[in-house]
Amino acid sequence: MKQIWKDIGFAVLLGVVMPWLILGIGAASIRSAAGQPAEHTEPSSAIQTRSVNVLQNGRVRGIELSEYLAGVLLCELPGDFTMEAKKAQAVVARTYTLRTVEKKDKHPGNAICTDPACCQGYTAPEQYRAEGGSAEAVEQARQAVALTEGLVLMYGGEMIDATYFSCSGGHTEDAVAVWGADVPYLQAVSSPGEEAAAHYTDSVTFTSAQFQQALGVRLSGKPATWMGTVTRTEGGGVDTMVIGGTVYQGTTLRSLLGLRSTAFTMTAAGDNITVTTKGFGHRVGMSQYGAQAMSLAGNSYEQILTHYYTGTELTCITLTAD
């Protein structure tokens, strides 16, 4: 998820862990979905993962979880994001990673890959520095991981599919609208203050020939006559749109036209069709720029997480040796 997740089939943008012992975190520092102190919930069994198998450039290698998580933050978030936004990302990445490796069916060797369109992006700290990244950003990534050590998001006693993405354009999306299955903790919520995101809005223009080629159809008449009824999802994305008499799903149009999100409008002028999108990514789960906006408004990472993941609990778990 280089600021966007992996459009599923979850994921979901994303997760990781670190070497953990049981953390001495008091109940007052663990929040429920309502933002109130919640009981410290212990897992039914310890999770045996202190390192993670990472698939990169065709090779699988084991990386210490804390270092892997720091590398995810370096790849997935701008270096100048606040510490609260980075801590939120650390928890999400840890949860996503543990959930992924526990499934044991995504990649050979029970691995998680570094392709952000599939699993999560990852940049080793030394590579980050060699490419011009600051030592301060590396230290902050490691600190965010350490400050949230052992914390994951749970719902109904299980770790969640902690999906995330870059920017929502003002409102996140229900999982059912994108992947067809309702997930109680992945519901549409407001996400204000994202205007600083590079892809808060984008526009792309197609000629009529390019548009038809992308859809694999031949349409008659002027482009202005092709556009029909549009229905929208709870999160403001296109649910269905009629083009040339055919009903398309918004997710299908996003894929065929290579759009940044399903939150789009379409206008025709002469022989051209312009599509304007809001947000970048599948828009399900946590918006990274939304998390940054919430932190700048004074919210803690716990408040950020319980806002984007409805009804979840922030839980401290124990990792044992592999």
Helices (H) and strands (E) in the chain, counts: 9, 14
Residue entry with tokens 């044991």: 104
| Between 50 and 6, residue with greater pLDDT | 50
Residues 6+ apart with CB under 8 A from 191: 168, 170, 171, 172, 287, 290, 293, 308
Residues 151 and 222 in one domain: no
Residues 179 and 236 in one domain: no
Helix (H, G, I), strand (E, B) or coil at 93: helix
Could you tell me if residue 138 is inside a domain?
A: yes
Residues 168 and 235 in one domain: no
Give the tokens for residue 128: 């980050």
pLDDT surpasses 80 at 267: yes
pLDDT of residue 33: 29
* Domain containing residue 231: 201-278
Residues 6+ apart with CB under 8 A from 252: none
- Within the chain, what is the greatest distance between any pair of CA atoms? 69
Flag the least confident range among 9-18, 27-36, 68-77, 313-322. Answer: 27-36
Mean pLDDT of 286-309: 98
pLDDT of residue 1: 54
pLDDT of residue 31: 28
Residue-wise pLDDT tens digits, 98-111: 998 887 778 888 89
CA 288 to chain CA centroid, Å, is: 7
Could you tell me if residue 16 is inside a domain?
A: no
Residues 261 and 309 in one domain: no
Could you tell me if residue 2 is inside a domain?
A: no
Could you tell me if residue 17 is inside a domain?
A: no
Q: What is the 3-state secondary structure (H, E, C) of 131-171?
A: CCCCHHHHHHHHHHHHHCCCEEEEECCEECCCCEECECCCE
Mean pLDDT of 204-229: 97
| Count of domains observed in the chain | 2
Residue type, 152: V
Output the pTM of the full model: 0.83
Could you tell me if residue 299 is inside a domain?
A: yes
Give the tokens for residue 112: 């998680």
Residues 171 and 106 in one domain: yes
Give the tokens for residue 258: 């290579």
pLDDT surpasses 50 at 2: no
Q: Per-residue confidence at 322, pLDDT binned at 50, 70, 90?
A: low
Residues 61 and 140 in one domain: yes
Q: Where are the alpha helices (DSSP H) in 230-284?
A: 250-257
